[in-house]
Amino acid sequence: MVASGAMAAVGAIATAWPFINNLNPAADTLALSTVEVNVKAIAVGQAITVKWRGKPVFIRHRTPEEIKEAEQVKLADLPDPETDNARVVDTAKKVRPEWLIVIGVCTHLGCVPLGTKQGDPRGDYNGWFCPCHGSQYDTSGRIRKGPAPKNLAVPEYLFTSDTLVKIG
């Protein structure tokens, strides 16, 4: 009795799995390719948005002041402590403080923060401001204020030359 009951339970779970798994991303969705961006045209102080895996990615050519601002923040002041250097390094471990590349999705509930386009509000910390629930990010894309729990995510990227970056 117990054995057959247990077998039935195992069978039920084993049968349920394909149906649950069916909702996971399909192979073609997973295979979404990498994106290559030429950053030559982005002037100092400018930022652009590119689409990667259906999400916006912000690429900002930071000014020396913005870099300085990001580097001088005390880690103790950050809700999600991370140094600026750790956020501007590509997969070849090369640090390029002038280029900040982050996924443009607010870590609160997934809105696209403002601050990439010229004239956008950039919040109290001169980075990005999320219009949905008021999260504010600094010049390193780190969360400083508001409901978002984490810094803007940094995708894997590699500078294949000084002006060409491969995201993903």
Partner 1 sequence: MASSHGAPPVFNNKVIAWIDHRLPIFSYIEKEYHTFPTPRNFNYFWNFGAIATVMLLLMIVTGIVLATNYTPHATMAFDSVERIMRDVPSGWLIRYMHMTGASFFFIGVYIHIFRGLYYGSYKAPRELLWILGVLILLLMMATAFMGYVLPWGQMSFWGATVITNLFSAIPVVGDSIVTWLWGGFSVDNPTLNRFFALHYLLPFIIVAVVALHVVALHVHGSNNPLGIDPKGPQDTVPFHPYYTMKDGFGVICFMIVYAAFVFFAPNFLGDVANYVPADPLVTPTHIVPEWYFLPFYAILRAIPDKLGGVIAMFGAIAVLFVLPWLDTSRVRSCTFRPIYKWFVLVLVVVLFLLGWCGANPPEGFFVPLSRICTAYYFFHFLILLPVLGKIERPLPLPPSIADAVLKKKAG
Tell me how far, at minimum, the Cβ of 75 lies from partner 1, in Å. 21
DSSP state of 83: -
List of residues contacting partner 1 (CB under 8 A): 20, 23-26, 29, 32, 49, 51, 53-56, 104-105, 108-114, 130-134, 146-149
Nearer to partner 1 (CB atom), residue 42 or residue 67: 42
Given the residues 51, 68, 94, 133, the one annotated as active site: 133
Is position 133 annotated as part of the catalytic site? Answer: yes
Name which of 154, 39, 157, 140 is nearest 93 in CA terms: 157
Tell me how far, at minimum, the Cβ of 161 lies from partner 1, in Å. 26
Tell me how far, at minimum, the Cβ of 114 lies from partner 1, in Å. 8
Backbone angles phi, psi at 11, to 5 degrees: -60, -40
Summary count for the chain: helices (H), strands (E): 3, 9
Nearer to partner 1 (CB atom), residue 104 or residue 127: 104
What angle is formed at CA 63 by the lines to CA 89 and CA 160, rounded to 5 degrees? 35
Nearer to partner 1 (CB atom), residue 89 or residue 111: 111
User: In terms of C-beta density within 10 A (0-12 exposed, 13-18 middle, 19 or more buried), how is residue 67 classed?
Assistant: middle
| Catalytic positions, written as ranges | 133
